[in-house]
Amino acid sequence: MPEKVLIVDDSIDNRRLLVRTLQKGGYELAEAADGKEALARTREFFPDLILLDIVMPELDGFQVCAALKSDPLTADIPVIFLSAKTETQDKIKGLETGGVDYITKPFDRGEVLARVRTQLKLRSLMKEILDKQKHLDEDLKAAAAIQACLLPQRPPELDRLTLAWKFVPCDLTGGDIFNVLHLDEDHLAFYMVDVSGHGVPAAMITVSVSQMLQPQGGCVKKKIDVPPYYEIASPLEVMQALDREYPFERFNKYFTIVYLIVDLSRGSVVYSNAGHPAPLRLHGDGRVDLLDKGGTIIGLNGLVPFEEEEIQLRPGDKIFLYTDGLLEFENHQGEAYGLPRFQTILRQVASQPISRILDTAYESIRTFGGNSPVLDDMTLLGFEYLG
Amino acid sequence: MAKIIVTIEADLEDLIPDYLENRRQDCQAVLQGLKNGDYEGIRVLGHTMKGTGGGYGFDAITDMGQTLEEAAKQPDPAAIRSVVSQLEHYLQAIEIVYR
């Protein structure tokens, strides 16, 4: 389908010359003899480009261009001014009004043809880019929806534990993922993963890791031949399995993970950590300490052994898992939110329910950052042991 | 009268007679404008002539159009009559070669 060009000039001699010139380019052409006709013709003909004279009766070319640019239906049609007004200020005015080019008269026919070709090519490329962007956006939204499905949808209702979380990806898809796994009636597992980088590549690895950590995946809960026909893998074993499965060179990415198993009947937590920010324990009396046993990132193939620790919870104890995006969130002065601020906030609201504590912590982070952009995913999960 | 040879692109041949006739009419319109004191009208004619001449291959018409436009801005009736005279002479003297 030929591209369409509208020629606007009050001089019939110019219109004839331009028609003759542009016919060589194989374009479909229409004409208008003044500014008002130009606007009407644009809305009927829908040109791909407009060649626009300036000095015309009724509306001049600047007024026509301004009207075209203010109408969403015509705003993206490129306008090339073609005028005997040769002063620099006229050219500036034309470009500032929204013209994409300015050719002075008397014009060289070859130059007009070349510039028309260029602008039409640019318009076509821009349309292609916008189309591709639209498809990419649709794919990203779909990927984000899939990733969102992998996250826990709502906190499970438990007698002995309450929990809540906040998840803020910096892109539509994120490199953070977390989950709560019901291993059996006495055991809950929590994990939080932070894959290096963010966006789609990191998100795809979170999908892979979350699949591996599903209870039926064989990693966190192993099948055995004797009743109860399953054995819960220790956090240490889980770290080791992940480290074997995800060497750095597999995806050129590494990730950190903290993995905890809560024994609801005994009120104990056993955990291990691979390079992830150490979970915080907020005691009922407001003391905060770090659960700091662990090892290095997943991906180094056992270079540094992982550690495991078991702690005993008291009723009212709260545990918080979080990703480094939270602590490293910077304000406009380049200052990071940091662990001490986070600990202070937790102490201040220690007696509040878990969900309220997370809301307060998140508000504190946003207030600190102002309208600074979020450059990394932020995830915060907390649970309270009720006894 | 010495001929003035002007080379014009061959694909414009069918447009040239109308173009030159419009310039003859411009001469009349300018003289009428002088009688009426319509210097703005003369200025616009000069501006249009300036813009079209060279595009067709008549650089001299562009030059005369520019002179006419400037003269109308002053306004300078003597200069305007002089341009009209030059243009009339030019239109009589040109011999077109199409290439």
Q: Domains plus CATH for chain B? A: 4-14+25-98 (1.20.120.160)
User: What residues have CB less than 8 Å from A382, skipping those under 6 apart?
Assistant: A163, A164, A165, A318, A319, A320, A321, A354, A357, A358
Give residue-wise pLDDT tens across range B13-46.
Answer: 999 999 999 999 999 999 999 999 999 999 999 9
ipTM for this model: 0.94
Spatial separation of the C-alpha atoms in residues A140 and A53, rounded to whole Å: 44
Structure-token match 């903290």, residue found: A258
Task: For chain A, say whether B17 makes contact (Cβ under 8 Å).
Answer: no
Mean residue pLDDT of chain A comes to: 92
What CATH topology corresponds to A151-385?
Phosphatase 2c; domain 1 (3.60.40)
Tell me, what's the pLDDT at A294?
87
Q: Where are the beta strands (DSSP E) in chain A?
A: 4-8, 28-32, 49-52, 79-83, 101-104, 161-168, 176-182, 187-195, 221-223, 230-232, 255-263, 268-274, 280-282, 288-290, 308-312, 318-322, 378-385
pLDDT at A315: 93
Which residues from chain B sit within 8 angstroms of residue A108, using beta carbons? 55
Q: Cβ of B10 under 8 Å from any chain A Cβ? A: no
Cα–Cα distance measured from residue A16 to residue A7, given in angstroms and rounded to the nearest whole number: 10
Could you please state the CATH topology (level 3) that the domain comprising A4-129 is classified under.
Answer: Rossmann fold (3.40.50)
Mutate to test the interface with B, among A8, A12, A13, A52 (most CBs of B within 10 A): A13
Q: What is the pLDDT of residue A203?
A: 87
Q: Tokens 């929204």 correspond to what residue?
A: A98
Assess whether pLDDT exceeds 90 at residue A305. no
Q: Using one digit for the tens of pLDDT, what is the confidence trace for A237-267?
A: 999 999 999 999 888 888 999 999 999 999 9
In terms of CA atoms, which chain A residue is nearest residue B21?
A: A13
By the CB < 8 Å criterion, does B50 face chain A?
A: yes
CA A366/CA A364 separation, integer angstroms: 6
Q: Is the pTM of this model over 0.80?
A: no
| Average pLDDT for A55-73 | 94
- Bond prior to A169 in cis (omega within 30° of 0): no
A169: its two tokens: 């990806």
> Contact A256/A276 with Cβ under 8 angstroms?
yes
pLDDT more than 90, % of chain B? 98
Q: How many helices (H) and strands (E) does chain A have?
A: 11, 17
pLDDT of residue A191: 96
Nearest-angstrom CA–CA distance, B83 and A299: 87
Distance CA A35, CA A67 (A): 10
Q: Are A303 and A296 in contact (CB under 8 A)?
A: yes
Nearest to B55 among A10, A55, A105 (CB): A105
pLDDT at A218: 86
Quick check: A155 pLDDT over 80? no
Candidates B15, B23, B52: best to mutate against A (most CBs of A within 10 A) is B52
Up-side HSE of residue A188: CA atoms within 13 Å toward CB? 21
Name the segment(s) of chain A with CATH classification 3.40.50.2300.
4-129
Mutation choice for A interface testing from B40, B56, B70 by most A CBs within 10 A: B56
Position A52 pLDDT exceeds 80: yes
B55/A11 touch (CB, cutoff 8 Å), yes or no: no
* Closest residue on chain A to B56 (Cα): A17
Residue A281 phi, psi (nearest 5) = -110, 125
| Strands A4-8, B4-8: pairing kind | unpaired
The band of B79, judged by pLDDT with boundaries at 50, 70 and 90, is very high
Contact A84 B48 (CB under 8 A): yes
Residue of B nearest to A10 (CA): B48
Chain A touched by B46 (CB under 8 Å): no
A301's CB contacts (< 8 A; 6+ apart) are A243, A244, A247, A248
A12 touches chain B (CB under 8 A): yes
Comparing alpha-carbon positions, the chain B residue that sits nearest to A16 is B15
Q: Is the pLDDT of residue A170 over 80?
A: no
Q: Provide the pLDDT for residue A216.
A: 87
User: What percentage of chain A's residues is helix, strand, coil (to nearest 5)?
Assistant: 35, 25, 35
Provide mean pLDDT across the span A31-48. 96
A87–B contact, CB cutoff 8 A: no
Q: Which of A16, A20, A84 sits opposite B51 (nearest CB)?
A: A84
Residue in B with minimal Cα distance to A86: B51
Chain A 290-309, residues with CB within 8 Å of chain B CB atoms: none
The residue whose two tokens read 């998140």 is: A362
Cβ atoms of A379 and A166 within 8 Å: the answer is yes
Residues carrying CATH 3.60.40.10, chain A: 151-385
Please name which of A125, A130, A72, A61 lies closest in space to residue A95, comparing C-alpha atoms.
A61
